[in-house]
Amino acid sequence: MSPASDVFEPYPQAEAVWSYLEQRFGMDPAAFADHRLWQRAAHKGVWLLHAAAEPATDIKVDWPGLAVLRQPLPRGFPTNAFLRRFGFAATRSCVDVDWDTALRLMYNHQIERDPLDDRGGPYAIRSPFGTLGRGWVRHGRLVLDTPKAWANQLLPRTELAETE
Amino acid sequence: METLRRYAPIVDDVEAFLTAASTPLPRVVWANRVRIGDDAMADLMGRRCPQAEPLAYLDGTWRVPADGPRPGKWPEFTLGLIHTQEEVSLWPVTVLDPRPGEAVLDLCAAPGNKTARMAVAMSDAGSVLANDRRWSRIQGIQDIVARMGLTSVMASHGDGGQLPGQARFDRVLVDAPCTGEGTTRKARGRSPELRNDYHKLQAVQKGLLRRAVELTRPGGVIVYSTCTYAPEENEAVLDGIYPEKAAIEPIELPAEVTVDAGVAEWQGERFRADTANAVRFWPHHNDTGGFFVARLRRL
């Protein structure tokens, strides 16, 4: 890989991303007025970085800010981390669940649910304590895209229940 | 703990120090204020750990007893609403005092806890460059940054002592690699090994601090910290900075927090006079781990 391909550059199709987020999730582009999108030449990922920051060119930056897309549009969809941070701004394609259901989803359980549209996702799954991440309805079941390790990292649900 | 007796000349109560250094450490939970408000945080702590107590002198921070629940296993941690860290490790960022919109460098960033604390202190508005020598440890920083949803942090990997570039940072944190003698409480009382290579680490630490000073704008702030007691890794490192390059400033701490001043002399070696402005955290003073923090102003 050449040094030039290591450098992050402003993402040329930023407007398309803001437009997608508005159409799919109803997120007002103004919510991202203080942010810019960046991409590394030879990579597919698109990153969200605060406008006051700019990836240095004399230092090899490994990653800037928060990953928004792992693949460019139209194939890509928002990352879990992005939706957890900005899911509050979504007004469409949201599935609001209670905390008990949220915990079940975090423990990789699937919940019976009709899809909101004929695409089956992605949806922003939200709980009373914030957005859980990205979800889908597949075969009539709502699933949360979680790292598989989550279930091991979290307390067993029985033990968790004792603290509530 | 007997190896720590070498610090008897600079600690006020060596027996209390050795006893405290081998007892389990309370955990501290702090709120990711970018994503959770104070009321919601108080509600969360009330549900999860009623015996936790808020720390009045550190914003949004709660102390969980050593035998209490493990916050790192809570769903709120997984969702990035909270983070857990040792209490004394919060002081370097508090002393650095990063402000929104500033350019900040964390020269030895892994595992990334202080980096995240900095970004949250800046309301996630500004620029935080997290550098570490090992690429594998950069991945751990990304895990924390992604979990907490921070957009102001960038990462690079390289030798901090040779990081390229001009003086462009408003604040720089050098949480230097050290012998880690102050972390015995996290190691469940395991005694630190007797070391005789303090001077090898000192060379690395001096290189890091010198580069940090060079990368800071005139008038900017550099915080040098370690989690060890050895003056060879603390005051002696500060002594390696030319006084005309940077001055060591006094640190104002809340009255509830007891610290000792940096030592002026160790084993026959005298240090520059303003090393007395640095602070030493001893485990028996505040029921924390051990730490050393100094705040320098770039001239």
Q: What is the pLDDT of residues A97-131, one digit of tens each?
A: 999 999 999 988 999 999 999 989 899 999 999 99
| Closest approach of B230 to chain A, Cα-based (Å) | 33
Asked whether the predicted pLDDT for residue B189 surpasses 60, the reply is: no
| Interface contact B149-A153, CB threshold 8 A | no
| Interface contact B124-A50, CB threshold 8 A | yes
Interface of A with B in 62-121 (CB under 8 A): 62-67, 79, 81-82, 84-86, 102-103, 106
B171/B149 Cα distance (integer angstroms)? 22
pLDDT > 90: percent of chain B: 87
Assign A44 a pLDDT band (cuts: 50, 70, 90).
very high
| Closest approach of A22 to chain B, Cα-based (Å) | 20
Asked whether the predicted pLDDT for residue A1 surpasses 50, the reply is: no
B139/B145 Cα distance (integer angstroms)? 10
Q: What is the pLDDT of residues B143-167, one digit of tens each?
A: 999 999 999 999 999 999 999 999 9
- B52-71 in b/e form (b: 16+ CB < 10 A) is bebbeebebbbbbeeeebeb
Interface of B with A in 188-227 (CB under 8 A): none
Structure tokens at A154: 């979290």
User: Is the minimum CB–CB distance between A158 and chain B shorter than 8 Å?
Assistant: no
Residue position matching structure tokens 């040094």: A3
CATH superfamily of A93-163: PUA domain (2.30.130.10)
User: Is the minimum CB–CB distance between B151 and chain A shorter than 8 Å?
Assistant: yes
- CA-wise closest residue to A12 among A42, A35, A46, A43: A46
User: Is the minimum CB–CB distance between B69 and chain A shorter than 8 Å?
Assistant: yes
Residue position matching structure tokens 């012998």: B179
Give yes or no: B227 in active site: yes
Q: Which of A53, A85, A154 sits opposite B35 (nearest CB)?
A: A85
Instruction: Give me the phi and psi of B157, to 5 degrees please.
Output: -125, 135
Please list every residue in chain A whose beta carbon sits closer than 8 Å to the beta carbon of residue B149.
Answer: 66, 81-82, 84-86
ipTM of the complex: 0.94
User: Is the minimum CB–CB distance between B106 and chain A shorter than 8 Å?
Assistant: no
| Interface contact B146-A56, CB threshold 8 A | no
Q: Which of A53, A82, A132 sits opposite B126 (nearest CB)?
A: A53
| Interface contact B44-A129, CB threshold 8 A | yes
Q: What is the mean pLDDT of chain A?
A: 91
The model's pTM is 0.95
Asked whether the predicted pLDDT for residue A55 surpasses 60, the reply is: yes
User: Is the minimum CB–CB distance between A36 and chain B shorter than 8 Å?
Assistant: no
Report how far apart, in Å, the C-alpha atoms of B229 and of each of A150, B5, B219, B299 are: 37, 11, 29, 28
Q: Please count the residue pairs, one from chain A and one from chain B, whose beta carbons lie less than 8 angstroms apart.
A: 114
